[in-house]
């Protein structure tokens, strides 16, 4: 058997939305595996730390779809916005728990940046959903990571 080559790494860690890495963590039980993300991590020699804030918060998979009724992640952290499930349940507290858990993992794994899934109420970086409408804004986890000084990009920034 031939020797396997050890991939080169820069030693730098980066938080990555687990669904982008191919894990079936989404509300609908599916993944959003992105070859662009995998290629980027390899090219840059980054060590991905997979996180799913909604699973870290203790939510089941699959779970109800959630969107913003008002505001975005920044507004929720400021006590002004509202994230609600498709059944009309207010989700602010549990989504904030997932954001805090994710920040804790970033600290424990020495991540200074994150690559998160666009459009998600937790992970969105440039836009989120208010009902069926896409609006400019960030997810709740993204807002907390940005507040802590981390750089956050989405898979769409790699194109
Ligand atoms: S919370 Fe983030 S990591 Fe988890 S499934 Fe949604 S977009 Fe992916």
For the segment 10-14, the average pLDDT, to the nearest whole number, is 93
- What's the pLDDT score for residue 4? 64
pLDDT band at 7 (very low <50, low <70, confident <90, very high): low
Joined together, the tokens standing for residue 45 give 């020699």
> Does residue 140 have its Cβ closer than 6 Å to ligand 1?
no
Taking the C-alpha atoms of residue 147 and residue 92, their distance in angstroms, rounded to an integer, is: 17
Centroid of ligand 1 to alpha carbon of 4 (angstroms): 32
| Per-residue pLDDT tens over the stretch 125-134 | 999 999 999 9
Annotated domain spans of the chain: 13-158
- What's the pLDDT score for residue 159? 87
- What's the pLDDT score for residue 112? 98
Q: Which among 27, 47, 7 is positioned nearest to 117, based on CA atoms?
A: 27
Vertex 157 angle, CA 75 and 113, to 5°: 65
> Does residue 123 have its Cβ closer than 6 Å to ligand 1?
yes
CA 101 to chain centre: 12
Region label for 137, one of left (φ > 0), alpha (ψ between -120 and 50) or beta (otherwise): left
CA distances from 58 to 3, 19, 32, 34, 73 (A): 41, 16, 20, 25, 19
Kindly write down the DSSP assignment for every residue of 11-39, as one continuous string: S-EEEEEGGGGT---STTS-----HHHHH
- Quick check: 9 pLDDT over 90? no
- What's the pLDDT score for residue 10? 84
Average pLDDT of every residue of the chain: 96
- What's the pLDDT score for residue 156? 98
| Per-residue pLDDT tens over the stretch 47-104 | 999 999 999 999 999 999 999 999 999 999 999 999 999 999 999 999 999 999 999 9
- What's the pLDDT score for residue 31? 98
Q: Is 135 in contact with 72 (CB distance < 8 Å)?
A: yes
> Does residue 13 have its Cβ closer than 6 Å to ligand 1?
no
pLDDT band at 11 (very low <50, low <70, confident <90, very high): confident
Count of beta carbons in the 10 Å neighbourhood of residue 66: 24
């Amino acid at each position: 058997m031939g020797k396997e080559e050890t991939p080169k790494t820069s030693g730098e860690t980066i938080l990555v939305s687990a669904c982008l890495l191919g894990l079936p963590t989404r509300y609908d039980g599916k993944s959003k595996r992105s070859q662009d993300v995998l290629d980027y991590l390899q090219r840059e020699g980054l060590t991905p730390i997979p996180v799913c804030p909604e699973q870290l918060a203790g939510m089941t998979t699959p779970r109800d779809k959630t969107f913003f009724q008002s505001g975005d992640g920044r507004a929720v952290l400021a006590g002004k916005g509202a994230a609600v499930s498709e059944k009309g349940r207010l989700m602010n507290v549990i989504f904030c728990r997932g954001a805090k858990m994710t920040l804790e993992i970033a600290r424990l794994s020495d991540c200074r940046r994150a690559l998160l899934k666009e459009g998600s109420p937790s992970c969105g970086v440039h836009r989120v959903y208010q009902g069926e409408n896409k609006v400019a804004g960030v997810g709740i986890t993204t807002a907390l990571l940005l507040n802590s000084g981390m750089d956050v990009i989405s898979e769409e920034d790699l194109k």
